[in-house]
Homo-oligomer: A and B are copies of this chain.
Amino acid sequence: MPTIALVNGPNLNLLGQREPGMYGARTLQQIIEGIQQAFPDHHFPHFQSNHEGELVDAIQRFGAESKGIVINPAAYGHTSVALRDAIAAVRVPVIEVHLSNIYAREGFRHTSITGGACAGVISGFGEEGYHMAVGHLLFHH
């Protein structure tokens, strides 16, 4: 029963209440349950934090304990070299997911510092982006 870790960054704990037009009406808990239901034969440890350092810790920890990692770095994707270094340091593949299409938002969201260390980046598909990433790690890597 392979394990895919789900790591979610700052302010994603507010999903469902924060700008639903942008981020969708479902909570993070509902999104994670949706993933579990879609892939019932697998295990999805998950972790959300608003702290850059805890996300670095999580990447390191899941990098040793999982088959792959799906991270939505949220704002830290645009500013964190530390997170990029953590992703580059682990040996399992990491996929970056953004709920909204970062290219269609403010200019400072058009780049991804963390993305350069990931296997791939998925942006703009809402909750389904997680499913795409999980599916890829489970069946195509």
Using CB atoms and an 8 Å cutoff, list the residues of chain A in contact with chain B.
Answer: 9-11, 13-14, 17-19, 49-54, 56-57, 60, 74-76, 78-82, 84-86, 88-89, 101, 103-104, 108-113, 115-125, 128-129, 132, 135-136, 140
Contacts and interface: CB of A to CB of B under 8 A. Distances in A.
19 contacts: A11-B85, A51-B51, A51-B54, A52-B52, A75-B80, A75-B84, A76-B82, A78-B81, A81-B109, A101-B115, A101-B120, A104-B117, A111-B111, A120-B123, A120-B125, A122-B122, A125-B136, A128-B140, A132-B136
Q: Please provide the 5 A-B residue pairs with the shortest distance between their CB atoms, ordered closest to farther.
A: A51-B53, A120-B124, A50-B56, A103-B115, A75-B81
Number of copies: 12
Given A53-B53, A132-B132, A118 B89 contact: no
Given A50-B56, A51-B53, A74-B82, A123 B125 contact: no
Determine chain A's interface SS by DSSP, over half rule.
helix
A75 to B, nearest CB: 4
